[in-house]
Chain A
Amino acid sequence: MDKLWLIIKREYLTRVRRRSFIIATLLTPLAFAVFFVVVGLIFQYESDDTRRIAIIDEGNVLKKSIKDEKNLYFKFVDVELDVLRDNFHDFDYDGILVIPRVKDLMARNYTVYYYSNKQPTLDIESLIRERVREGVKDYKIAALELDPAQLEALDTKVALEPEPIDEGGQDASKLTGAIAAGIGGLMGIVMYIVVFIYGMMVMRSVMEEKTNRIVEVMISSVRPFQLMLGKIIGVGAVGLTQVAIWAILIPTIVLITSLVFGFDSNTQMDMAQSSAAAEINPEDAEAMLALAIEEFNSLNWWSILPLFIFFFLGGFFLYSSLFAAVGSAMGDDLGEGQSLTIPITIPVVIAFYIMIVAIQAPNSSLAVWSSIFPLFSPIVMPARLAFSPPVWEVVLSVVVLAASSVFFVWLSGRIYRVGILMYGKKVTLKELGKWMFYRD
């Protein structure tokens, strides 16, 4: 046990003290910050493009009132279009908007004309259309002598509020699904990256020890299994450290940069909207944001976080032990052994795709069964946790993963102890299988 501790300590400390580790750990959040700033600047730059638009309202449809928008200024003018067009360059306008008379109050189509040297950009075009639509609506209401309040009442907003069947069941709001999908997806992606980065780290380190020929000295002092286990635990601790630092640094740095660069909520909303391609108006969005935060806080983090750490460790142990086994079989040539890693990477990739489907349909039988199957569960189950899956599924998944991790670590240990002493031989998967049954 003392020796295992010594190995863990060395594996952990040598990695954590390495310059490349410190740089990667600190630079990754910075890279996020730079990304955030650059994207923010790009969005700000777009809305910097100022436009002045002259409006010729022939039928006084808008009643001289239209709201200016950021970087977009309107002015009603009493000049003939031809005069304005002839002297366009003398005026300081970017475009002329001609609003014709409304001839047919019952017509559903209405066309306005925009004269300019430049094509209106998409956002300006949609903004003008929206403003005119509102103006025409008010014009028609007045002309048809309708009651605005009654009209308002016609537009009914329907919300769907999910409620549990049982009295005491967990209540969910309409946003629960979306929030859970976001968190679930994030956890799934983190798991996927973790398995690859740190699993590979274990593999490379095993290969290094073998090609370095230090391994024979080591196993004349400790059992090969201790060496492998110590390495896996040590690298796992490195992974936890790095992920924990990122979990704190990334939000902090993003927050600080957003304060320093003063991105207002509109820019952020722009970014959110363009990425989600959702058409939500700002008032609704603000309400939704508040609801989302409330929803986020109402999630049972006391069970999600420990479970996430459990699946992190379980998945890491399971896969990194397999990577260790494969690393032990490889020779000096990384390329030659690449084919041996394929059987390990395939389930990881499949699990990733199942995870993507699972956050859309978290209770489908595919999602349920793959969150119990131990090769998939470390990636699929964390993604489902925010959807509050049934307790028995979580328990079963935890038990199966725990048992499988132990089994795979043991199994890999059997391959590892033979592999690390095998030199100059191209190893096939079949041989790896045989090694499991070798006697000590």
Chain B
Amino acid sequence: MSESILSLDNIVKTYDKNVAVDGVSFEVPKGSIFGLLGPNGAGKTSLIRIITTITRADTGVVYLDGEKLNNRHPEQIGYMPEERGLYRKMKVGDHLLYLARLKGLSKEQAKAQIGHWFEKFEIEDWWNKKVEELSKGMQQKIQFIATVVHQPKLLILDEPFSGLDPVNTNLIKDEIHGLHNQGVSIIFSTHRMEQVEEVCENIVLINKGRNVLEGRVKDIKNQFKRNRFRIEYEGELPAGLEERADIVGQSDHAITIQVEEESRSNELLQYLLQHGVFIHAFNEILPTLNEIFIQQVRG
């Protein structure tokens, strides 16, 4: 248990007659970047709201760092919702101070932390600016600071890059990695698969309120691989190739094939070499998470 920062055990949540979450269980390893995936309406937000203690599960238990979820835990969690905003009329510094103090920081601690982040983002002169004077991209920086200012153990980011320009996306990505290196556990909720592949080590896939898939990204990809290989070559392909493997795609000096078993790939490579084909590259093609996602959700 202690190796998981977060552990969900058979969580059920219904609204009126709609079952939003229907018996979901998963574990988030300590210090990992964890992807909480699922199409829109799968129950991701409902789950996050349970984890952040905004709502309570009807049945099932949540453990944070081995402890049953309780009222002190919000101070250890940083949550950046997908739909996020700030008080427009407040000064940036006062606003961050307010949110930090609501997370249990003393005034001095809060000021020190805010100062630290202001320095990091090179926005020291923003303290007295009003939120409404900031551009959207600037507000997003403030929102990120507000999420991490109290040094949470667990960071929950719901579609963190939606609406961010490329510069801010990179900035936030770097900070996420930085926090990860400091040992912060991060839950990353999204339906954008390319981002997940880039940053997540572990994922859980939720659909219609149930978990469909769970594990390490690498393992999942292996589990779903179809023994496809891409070969870049020079010369003439032997005619007998089609008997040994299915040709899935073909273009100029490149071919994608699928074999029945993984071990056949070596034989195939040998066969090609023996027939005088000059090989530039020979890669296994793993399915993208996107493909797996679509397959699982449709299936």
Chain A positions within 8 Å of B, measured between CB atoms, are: 3, 6-7, 10, 14, 18, 209, 212-214, 216-222, 224, 421, 423, 434, 438-440
Contacts and interface: CB of A to CB of B under 8 A. Distances in A.
Nearest to B100: A221
9 contacts: A3-B102, A7-B102, A212-B88, A216-B84, A217-B79, A217-B143, A220-B77, A423-B83, A438-B16
Interface string B75-87: 1010111011111
B212 to A, nearest CB: 25
Contacts, number: 63
A322 B56 CA distance: 24
Interface in B65-113: 74-75, 77, 79-81, 83-90, 98-99, 101-103
- The 10 A-B residue pairs with the shortest CB-CB distance, nearest first, are A213-B85, A212-B85, A221-B102, A440-B56, A216-B81, A220-B79, A213-B83, A220-B52, A214-B85, A219-B54
Contact of A421 (B49, B56, B84, B103): B49
Contacts of A7: 102
Contacts of A222: 74, 102
Contacts of A434: 16
A206 B85 CA distance: 14
B56 to A, nearest CB: 4
Contacts of A440: 55-56
Interface of B: 15-16, 49, 52-56, 58, 74-75, 77, 79-81, 83-90, 98-99, 101-103, 143, 146
Contacts of A216: 54, 79, 81, 83-84
Given A421-B49, A438-B15, A218 B86 contact: no
A217 B54 contact: no
B55 to A, nearest CB: 6
A6 B90 CA distance: 15
B84 A213 contact: yes
A438 B90 CA distance: 33
Contacts of A3: 102
Contacts of A219: 54
A94 B35 CA distance: 98
Contact of A6 (B74, B75, B81, B98): B98
A222 B74 CA distance: 8
Nearest to A212: B85
Contacts of B74: 220-222
A431 to B, nearest CB: 9
Nearest to A215: B85
B107 to A, nearest CB: 10
B289 to A, nearest CB: 27
Nearest to B56: A440
A440 B49 CA distance: 11
B99 A217 contact: yes
Contacts of A224: 54
B87 A214 contact: yes
Nearest to A214: B85
